[in-house]
Copies of this chain bind each other. A is one copy, B any other.
Amino acid sequence: MNAAELMETATQSGLERLGREEFVVGVDLGGTKILAAIIGSNGKIVSRFKAMTRADKSAEEVIGRIADCVSESIKKANLDRTQVRAIGIGAPGVIDSNTGVVIYAPNLRWTDVALKAALENQSEIPVTVDNDVNLGTLGEQALGAGRGVDNLVGIFVGTGIGGGIILNGKLFYGANRTAGEIGHVILKPDGPKCSCGNRGCLEALASRTAISRHVQKAITKQGKKSILPELNGGSLDLVRSRALAKAVERGDKVTLKAIQRAQYYLGVGVATVTGIVNPQVVVLGGGLIEAMGKDFVAGVYNVAAELALPNAMNGVDVLSAELGDDAGVIGAAVLACENLGSA
């Protein structure tokens, strides 16, 4: 996108509420890394700062590191602190975005951490907190693949599968803030065990973990041969998306089959979510999708179109995410800016 296009889309993102010399900070708080980015009214990232999370330390220390990342990103952008209107943070877990409390985040080992209050205390800037996948979805809707679309579902495929739903232009949370948990929709009640304890969830059928498990099984139980372990540093634990893409590129049949199976179940998942909320666009993102490319996404669409009710997929697009790792910080900035408007 060029600057003119960014200006145009920013008009719909809410970031245009910012003055020319005003900025927001988007933070993506992960289990291993913290990414902070300064974003202006045109949706452009002005500066970034990365640090390790060190989730093994106390929540106070981690929050201190977030505050440092924010300060460093402001410094890097040569801004005065008064030019920063708000901070938005995406965290991996169940978040009460009204209070800014992280209710439960296993990757961070956090339970009931008042992130908003603590960070506002340290930074003296208004803070908004939400689930990281929700914010990735919001980022794609504001400035990525779903620009200009009011009803959108985001599905992000990595070691797990996360999802977010935007209805009528707003993130939709549901009664217990668990709406959009598309990774744990059960597509095959007698299917493989999922990390959540159930069987046959989308995550257990189509995540990177599910794919590597499938390859592992083919090797050990069916005696098939695959170059995937070799491409992944000798092991199938924590298989990397790039290794999967390389194995497919080199014609590894076992990996290809496992990936086609994941593609099929992602298609079933898209059909399911389309049957229930019938969004205009489904955005597929995350490492696996990026590594596999457009053809993989087109295949997911085809499965969904075949399985959805007649008409349900008419005009519904299944698109690759466009913002990559920036989706989270952009979504965080957008939501922080929205809350600024309503405060």
Name A residues whose Cβ lies closer than 8 Å to a Cβ of B.
Answer: 94, 151, 165, 167-168, 172-182, 184-189, 196, 198, 268, 271-280, 307-316
Contact = CB atoms under 8 A, between A and B. Distances in A.
A330 B286 CA distance: 46
Contacts of A188: 188-189
Copies held by the complex:
2
A165 B173 CA distance: 15
Contacts of A165: 276-277
Would you call the interface of chain A mostly helix, strand, loop, or mixed?
loop
A316 to B, nearest CB: 6
A278 B184 contact: no
A187 B185 CA distance: 9
11 contacts: A172-B277, A174-B278, A175-B316, A178-B274, A178-B275, A178-B312, A181-B312, A185-B276, A186-B187, A186-B268, A272-B272
Contacts of A271: 186
A275 B182 contact: yes
A309 B175 contact: no
B196 A310 contact: yes
Contacts of A172: 167, 277
A323 to B, nearest CB: 22
Nearest to A180: B276
A175 B273 contact: no
Tell me which of A180, A268, A273, A308 has the highest count of chain B C-beta atoms within 10 A of its own C-beta: A308
B278 A175 contact: yes
B315 A175 contact: yes
B186 A311 contact: no
Q: Give the top 3 A-B pairs by smallest Cβ distance, nearest first.
A: A174-B278, A179-B278, A178-B312
Nearest to A104: B311
